[in-house]
Amino acid sequence: MIHGMVDRPLEFTMEELKRFPSVSRIHFIECLGNHSKPEYKTVQETHGLTSCSEWTGVPLSLLLKEVGVQKGAAWVVSEGSEEVKGAGSIRLAKAMDDCLVCYGQNGEALRPQQGFPLRLVVPGFEGIYNTKWLRRIKVVDRYYMTYNDYGHIQKDEEIAALTFQWGPKSVITFPSRYLPAHWPGLVRRRRRSQGGSIHRRRPDLEGGPDSGGGTSKGAHPVWHGLEVGRTRVCTPVALHRRTGPGSTDASATRQTL
């Protein structure tokens, strides 16, 4: 159902929604909680609360034009039909931009845990806006401070803006913790203080990006230069364990995970 500050409140069946013109687009959905903590060790933990799918559905802007949004409307409240009927406020400008009312995911119907039969996809906004089990959109004139909303409010306007619009992120997924690189031919240059000789070694990646996990053992994850032939390749590796000033414990570098 779409109602509120509209000329024609309307209720659509699933069959009717599938008769509207549809688009299929690839979008990420990422949770606001997708960030690292000191105890996290793997990329799955530090960056894993996200996924990417091809979403198929009707542009919300098309549906809003069909119901006729009235002057003075500035927000929409989108609501789901699960037990707690999670609802959130979205700017009308975004609702009219690129939001999708989706029934398809990766070429098939939405899965139950993804909001079957209908969900909202709000590209580029934090995950909770992407209402699952969508049942209602109300067009309103203000921010409604729903349960979903108040859990994510920020006093600082700039920080608040970042929940509206995510930026790009990047992380090296391989090699990373528990995923060592076993590439023949990679060598590690010793630190200059040890004389600069080159040794063949299998790089064990004790630390991964973002991780401080090596420090408890005395090794430090750093960006370390490796030479592949004459090409310098940088990858995060653990330093050798220190056994004394100016020396390295070579055996430590052969730890396997």
Partner 1 sequence: MGASTMRSLRLLLPVMILGVCHAGWAQSPTYGLGRTPSAEEIRAWDIAISPTGKELPPGSGTAKEGAQLYAQKCAACHGASGSGGKAPTLIRSKSTSTASAPGNEQPCLAPCVREGNVMALHSPYATTIWDYINRGMPFLQEGMLKPNEVYGLTAFLLYKNGVIQEDDVLDAQTLPQIKMPNRDGYAIPEWKPGMPRPFSAKP
Distant-in-sequence, close-in-space partners of 115: CB < 8 Å, separation ≥ 6: 80, 102, 131, 132, 133, 134
Q: 157 vs 185, which CB is nearer to partner 1?
A: 157
Half-sphere CA count of 181, side-chain side, radius 13 A: 23
Least CB distance to partner 1 at residue 204 (A): 31
Q: 119 vs 241, which CB is nearer to partner 1?
A: 119
Least CB distance to partner 1 at residue 230 (A): 38
Q: 9 vs 218, which CB is nearer to partner 1?
A: 9
Least CB distance to partner 1 at residue 31 (A): 8
Give dist(CA 167, CA 236) in Å, integer.
24
Cα 41–Cα 42–Cα 46 angle in degrees, nearest 5: 90
Tell me if 206 sits within 8 A of 213, measured CB to CB: yes
Other CB atoms within 10 Å distance of the CB of residue 2: 23
Q: 33 vs 225, which CB is nearer to partner 1?
A: 33
Q: 143 vs 224, which CB is nearer to partner 1?
A: 143
Give dist(CA 220, CA 234) in Å, integer.
15
Least CB distance to partner 1 at residue 99 (A): 11
Least CB distance to partner 1 at residue 81 (A): 5
Give dist(CA 67, CA 89) in Å, integer.
19
Contact residues: partner 1, CB under 8 A = 1, 3, 8-16, 19-20, 32-33, 63, 65-67, 77, 79, 81, 83-85, 87, 91, 93-94, 97-98, 117-118, 133, 135-136, 138, 140, 142-147, 149-151, 153-158, 160-162, 164-165, 167
